[in-house]
Structure 1
Amino acid sequence: MSSPLPDAASDLAQLSDQLNQGAEKSQRQVIAQLAALGEVGWPLLQDFLKTNYSDTPKLAMAEAYQALRLVEQEAVQEFLNTQFPLGIFPLKSARNIDYRPLQMALAQQEFELADNLTREKLCELAGEGAIQRKWLYFTEVERFPGLDLHTINALWWLHSGGKFGFSVQRKLWLSVGKDFTKLWPKIDWKNGNSWTKYPAGFTWDLSAPAGHLPLLNQLRGVRVAASLYGHPVWSEYQW
C-alpha cells in the first residue's frame, strides 16, 4: 500500500513558521522551497518582505526579493514595484547621491556594471575633483560619510549572498594581518607577480572568490584601500 499524500496545507504552514520564526540559515533554505512552489509560495515571500523591511541588512530579505524578481507574473512584479521601488534596503545618503542604478544592477546580478557604478558613486562622494580625474585620493576616502559607505556595502553584500562588498574584503585583510601582499592573491586580484588584467581577467559572477568585488585600483598604491578598510564606518555599523 502506498503512503498517504502529505498534507499540503500543513506543510505550507510549517514552511511559513520556519520563514518567520527560524534562524536566518533556515529562512534562506525555506525561501528557495517557497519560490519553487510557485503561486502557493509567492504570497508568503511577499508577506515576509513587508514584515521584515528594515535598516539592518538581512541576506534572507535579499534572497526573497531576488526570488520574486524572477517570477514572470504581473501581480508579483507589481507588488515589488509598488512596495519596494528602491529595493529591500534603504538607499540613504548623507550627500543626496542616487544609488538606485547601483541597486538595480546588483539586483539583476550585473556585477561588472555595478562595479563601474560603484566607482562613479565613490568619486561623487569625493567631489568634483575626483569626478574629473575618475580616481580617489586616500584623504578623500577618509572624509566619506559612513552612511553612504554603509549603503554601498550593504547593496553589494545583500545581492551577492554575503560574498562581495568592502566589509568582506576588510575581514579578509584583517585575517592576513593587514598585509596587502597576502590579500590580493586571496581575492584573485593578483597571481604571483602579475596583476589581474581588467576587465577580462576578473570574474563578474558569483563563482568568484569571496571579496573579489567591488574593485579598487591598486596600481596607485594601497593607501586608498587602507583608508577604506580603516574607515570608522565599520565600527559604526555591525558587519
Structure 2
Amino acid sequence: MTEDYIQLQNRIVELEAKVARLETTLLLMPDVYRFQHLQKLLAAGDFREADQETIRVMLSITGAESLETITPNDVRAFPCNQLQAIDKLWTTYSQGKFGFSVQGQMYQEVGGSIDTTIAQDNSVIEKLGLLNGWRLNNKWQKCDELDYTLNAPKGCHPSRWWNSPFGSKMTNYFFNRLITCEIST
C-alpha cells in the first residue's frame, strides 16, 4: 500500500466519525435545546447525572412538575419521537448497553408483551429486574446502589425514571408505550 492510500483510508475513517456525530446531533433537531445537556452528559460518560437529566427531559415533555406527578395517561400520550431521541442518545453513548430499546427488548426476552402489560403481570418485571441489575436477593435496589458505569448490567439505565409512585403499574404502562412506539424491537 502506498502512503497516499493509507492517508486516504485514514481520512475516510475520520469523515465517517464526523458523519456519525452529525447524525446524532441531527436526531436532536426537533428539540435540540431539550436534549443538548443530556447528550453532553452521556458523551462524557456521566451516566448518573444523565439518568437525572433523563427525568428532567421527560418532565419537560409531559409538562409535569415532578416524577411523582406523571400519570399513566401522561405515559400513554408520551410522544414516540421524543422517546426515540432519548433512547438513541442512551444507546449511542453506552455502546448499545443502555437505553429504553435495550430495556424493552430485554422485557420481551423474559416474556413481556402487550398482553403482559395490560394484565399488569409483575412477574415479568421482576424477571427483568434480576437480569438488568435492578433486583438483588429478591429486593429492588435503590438507584443510588446501582453501578453507573459501563460495567453495570445490560439494560440497567436509565433507571431513575422507573421509580414512580404508581409502582409496577406505571412500569407496565411504560413498557406498553415502548412496544407501541416500536422502541423495543
Give the shorter-chain TM-score range: 0.7 to 0.9
- Tell me if the contact between 1:168 and 1:211 (Cα under 8 Å) persists in the aligned partners: yes
**Greater relative contact order (Cα < 8 A, sep 6+):** 2
Q: Using the alignment, how far apart are the partners of 2:165 and 2:133 within structure 1? A: 15
Correspondence 1:164 to 2:92: no
1:83-232 correspondence to structure 2 within 5 Å: 84=22, 88-93=25-30, 98-127=34-63, 130-132=64-66, 134-178=68-112, 179-199=124-144, 201-215=145-159, 216-217=162-163, 220-231=166-177, 232=180
Deviations 1:81-129 (A, max 9, x none): xxx5x954421447x86110001111111101100000111112221xx
Query: How many residues end up aligned between the 2 structures?
Result: 170
Correspondence for 1:30: none
> Aligned-pair RMSD on alpha carbons?
2.7
Alpha-carbon offset, residue 158 of structure 1: 0.7
Q: Which has the higher helix share?
A: 2
Higher CA-based Rg: 1
Alpha-carbon offset, residue 160 of structure 1: 0.7
Equivalent position amino acid for 1:213 in 2: H
Q: Percent identity?
A: 25
Query: Under a length normalisation based on structure 2, what TM-score does the superposition of the two structures give?
Result: 0.79
Correspondence for 1:19: none
- Tell me if the contact between 2:75 and 2:173 (Cα under 8 Å) persists in the aligned partners: yes
Cα distance, 1:223–1:166 mapped onto 2, change above 3 Å: same
Where has structure 1 moved over 6 Å in runs of 4 or more? Answer: none
2:143 aligned counterpart, secondary structure: coil
Alpha-carbon offset, residue 7 of structure 1: 5.2
1:162 aligned counterpart, secondary structure: coil
Query: Under a length normalisation based on structure 1, what TM-score does the superposition of the two structures give?
Result: 0.62
User: Tell me, which stretches of 5 or more residues in structure 1 are unaligned?
Assistant: 1-5, 17-40, 54-60, 66-83
Alpha-carbon offset, residue 150 of structure 1: 0.6
- Tell me if the contact between 1:126 and 1:140 (Cα under 8 Å) persists in the aligned partners: yes
